[in-house]
Amino acid sequence: MSVELHLPDLPEVPISLGPAPEGRPRVSQPWPLRLRNVVIAYLPLLLMALLALGTWWLVKNSPRPPGPGEEPVVSSKPDYTMTDFSISHFQPDGRMQVRIDGRALRHFPATDRIEIEDAVIHGYAPNGDVTNARARRAISNGDGSEVQLLGGAEVSTQTAGGVPLIVRGEFLHLFLVTERVSSPQAVELHLGASELRAAGMSYDNATRHLDLVGPTRALFEPRR
């Protein structure tokens, strides 16, 4: 058995979608707000760039340790200064060897040199002899055993029971350990009431040996 249904033809109804809706108008942002948005967007990148630049600067300017066989660079400027000072050097057995007083001191590490203004120096020999020196300016090695006296220099040596010898000049080279004093310039010497003048000299206090150089004038104390 079969059933057939016949539906009436439906009229065609045109469908119209209508005009497409137009997009919303874009709102223009003020330039400070746009700049802030750009900065916020690129801020992590800027921070990384600044960090990299700072790291490079630190590496570039940090002192490097000397390589194998490379000597460290020593500054020619003084590494320390002192004013109104007093320095003493002692022997291993505790005896004082040298004492240096002055108004100002500068130490130069490149040469281990000490420069002293208004220097007053006292040297003590093992046999008890004392050497005193003074000058407006002095240049000494690190341990004070060798001193160059410049400007109004004076050195006096005192022996036990002996007559002191006083040497004056504008330049005197003093060796405190070996008890020697010398000068290539004009000097004036006083031994008791005797006076000597020479163009240069060398004196060894340990052996009491005196050499005078160049034209020499002497005024000796008469024997009594």
Q: Which pLDDT band holds residue 62 (cuts at 50, 70, 90)?
A: low
8 Å CB contact between 142 and 135: no
| CB neighbour list of residue 93: distance below 8 Å, 6 or more residues apart | none
Count of helix runs (H) and strand runs (E) in the chain: 1, 10
pLDDT of residue 187: 94
What secondary structure letter does DSSP report for 23?
A: P
pTM for this prediction: 0.61
8 Å CB contact between 87 and 99: yes
Distance of CA 209 to the CA centre of its chain: 41
Q: Which pLDDT band holds residue 184 (cuts at 50, 70, 90)?
A: very high
pLDDT of residue 92: 85
Max distance between CA atoms of the chain, in angstroms, equals 181
Percentage of the chain lying above the pLDDT 90 cut: 25
Mean pLDDT throughout 94-110?
Answer: 88
Highest mean pLDDT among 27-36, 65-74, 189-198: 189-198
Q: Which pLDDT band holds residue 177 (cuts at 50, 70, 90)?
A: confident
At CA 188, angle to CA 186 and CA 190, rounded to 5?
Answer: 160
- CATH superfamily of domain region 80-185+202-210: Lipopolysaccharide (LPS) transport protein A like domain (2.60.450.10)
So where are the chain's domains? 80-185+202-210
The residue to which tokens 């002095």 are assigned: 138
User: What is the residue type of 145?
Assistant: S
pLDDT of residue 2: 43
pLDDT of residue 189: 92
And the tokens for 219? 């005024």
> DSSP assignment of 89-143, as one string?
EE-TTS-EEEEEEEEEEEEETTTTEEEEEEEEEEEE-TTS-EEEEEEEEEEE-TT
> Which range is least confidently modeled, 38-52, 64-78, 151-165?
64-78
